[in-house]
Amino acid sequence: MAADLEIALLRVFVTAVRAGSISRAASALGQTQPALSQQMRRLERVVGHPLLHRSPSGVTPTRAGEELLPYAERILSLSAQALTETGRALTGRCGVGLLEDVAVSHLPQVLADLARLHPGATLEVLSLSCETVRAAYHAGRVQLVLDEVPDLPSPPRWTVRRPLVWVSGQGVDVTADPLPVILFSGACFWRTAVLETMERSGRRWRVAFESNSLAGVLAAVRSGLGVAALMPANLEPAMDCHDTGALPALPDVELGLARHPVSEGDPLVDAVEATLRRTI
């Protein structure tokens, strides 16, 4: 008989990837580090593959971990939705503005699952420029915005920190001098974080490729043009993740959620916000 994936073990795995550290994940879940490590080993035995790369700087998902991650996050989200939304019919409309780097991950699928549970509700997900999302927020088209904290249209209701990791296509020489770096163009946290990190490191580097979209950055990474700073959730199976032994340590990203004041007390917006907070 095939083994089942235990939700508790999937929660440990997802929390470890999000936190970028076994110790931080143990603290977040109220467990000891040895207990959490033991649960991770149980999950790896069930899956049949190592799921985490472990290094002194923290953990990142292996290729098998990258493949499991979206399924694990969706299972956790569906479980939570089933417990809280079953028997409660939600109606109305909710617009959500998402940072592109989370919009291309599992979040849209999670929101689609929520919409399927409530056929009388309408959800709209926008991934546009900060200025466009800000205008939609003030016009009432968007009730929730999940973005980098400095780019939110109003003070955040809550925030969360997520790690950045160095990523490249297979076979890229991270010891090259100068190091080829792939950047997001325009003013944004990602670009500033990479530039400041490289300047502090004292290492020689050059801009190999720039794009104003995540799709463009990912294409350059796949093509082996250099290294880029990404969130672990955006890694693809054919990409290599590099620890800070080979490259300088990157800062965390602080994401936050802004909610339009007129949506307070709206049950649908409440449910969407709760889903975003659980998932992110």
Over residues 24-37, the pLDDT tens digits come to 888 877 788 888 88
Summarised one tens digit per residue, pLDDT across range 44-59 is: 999 999 999 888 777 8
* pTM, to two decimals: 0.71
Average pLDDT of the chain? 86
> Taking CA 20 as the corner, what is the angle to CA 247 and CA 157, rounded to the nearest 5 degrees?
120
The predicted pLDDT at position 83 comes to: 60
First-residue to last-residue Cα distance in the chain:
33
CATH 3.40.190.10 positions along the chain are: 91-159+255-279, 165-251
CA distance 194 to 247: 11
CATH 1.10.10.10 positions along the chain are: 7-81
* Most confident residue range from 73-82, 152-161, 269-278: 152-161
Pairing mode, strands 165-169 and 239-242:
antiparallel
Give the residue with greater pLDDT, 189 vs 177.
177
Residue 1 has pLDDT above 50, yes or no: no
- Other Cβ atoms less than 10 A from the Cβ of 134: the count is 20
Superfamily, domain 91-159+255-279: Periplasmic binding protein-like II (3.40.190.10)
Residue 141 has pLDDT above 80, yes or no: yes
The closest of 51, 49, 56, 47 to 37, measured between CA atoms, is 51
CATH number of 165-251: 3.40.190.10
Fold of 7-81: Arc Repressor Mutant, subunit A (1.10.10)
The contacts of residue 198 (CB under 8 Å, 6+ apart) are 179, 181, 205, 248
pLDDT band, residue 205 (cuts 50/70/90)? very high
Q: Are 100 and 184 in contact (CB under 8 A)?
A: no
Q: What percent of the chain has pLDDT over 70?
A: 95
pLDDT band, residue 244 (cuts 50/70/90)? low
